Chain A
């Protein structure tokens, strides 16, 4: 099986712009979670989607949003980018909501200038 795939892998934006990141989960996995990884804060939970519905949301401002499509692929969007949004954004999938094991992608590294 192919692993979790995230695109793009690297991107550079300027303050005020917006960005959309994409995640394709492992085939058959219906749950997708997003995390922000920074050296100072580690991994912080953004949100989780299951069957196109947001099930849980972390403590991030409304500029961070996401969605999931019927094929389980997910996108997250950050609007009005700030310098502090520079981070590695990780997507993880799992088969359902009754198992804790997450399978992570390689991440999308966002740099905001």
Chain B
């Protein structure tokens, strides 16, 4: 089975500072990776997926197969970015249920 590691439980940054949330994975084959976000008192929801190559709310994530990483980045953090962020990939090869990392809580300080 695949595995996702998010090494930081908590990340605090000042408003306007750059943000990088780390995600490393183990996977055999070509993974499809996701970032999910959970704002306070809201449902867990998809933020972005690597195959779409989109920038959502200013966030981007690049898949680095050599380093097996999928770090989430934003050049200038906003207070509304404070949330719990989860990296995820399929449990097995192919489109199977997602397995999530333990999450990183991002706190943006005004």
B96 within 8 A of A: yes
B30 within 8 A of A: no
A residues contacting B by CB (< 8 A) are 3-4, 33, 35, 40-45, 48, 55-56, 90, 92, 97-106
Q: Chain A residues with Cβ under 8 A from B49's Cβ?
A: 100-101
B13 within 8 A of A: no
Q: Can you list, as one digit per residue, whether each of B49-63 has a CB less than 8 Å from chain A (1) or not (0)?
A: 100000000000000
Q: What's the Cα separation between A48 and B101 when bound, in Å?
A: 18
Q: Closest residue of chain A to B90, judged by CB?
A: A100
B residues contacting A by CB (< 8 A) are 32, 34, 36, 43-46, 49, 86, 90-92, 95-103
Q: What's the Cα separation between A99 and B32 when bound, in Å?
A: 10
The answer on a CB contact under 8 Å between B34 and A45 is no
The answer on a CB contact under 8 Å between A45 and B101 is no
The answer on a CB contact under 8 Å between A41 and B98 is no
Q: Chain A residues with Cβ under 8 A from B32's Cβ?
A: 100
Q: Chain A residues with Cβ under 8 A from B95's Cβ?
A: 97-100
Contact among B43, B90, B98 with A106 in the assembled complex (CB-CB below 8 Å): B43
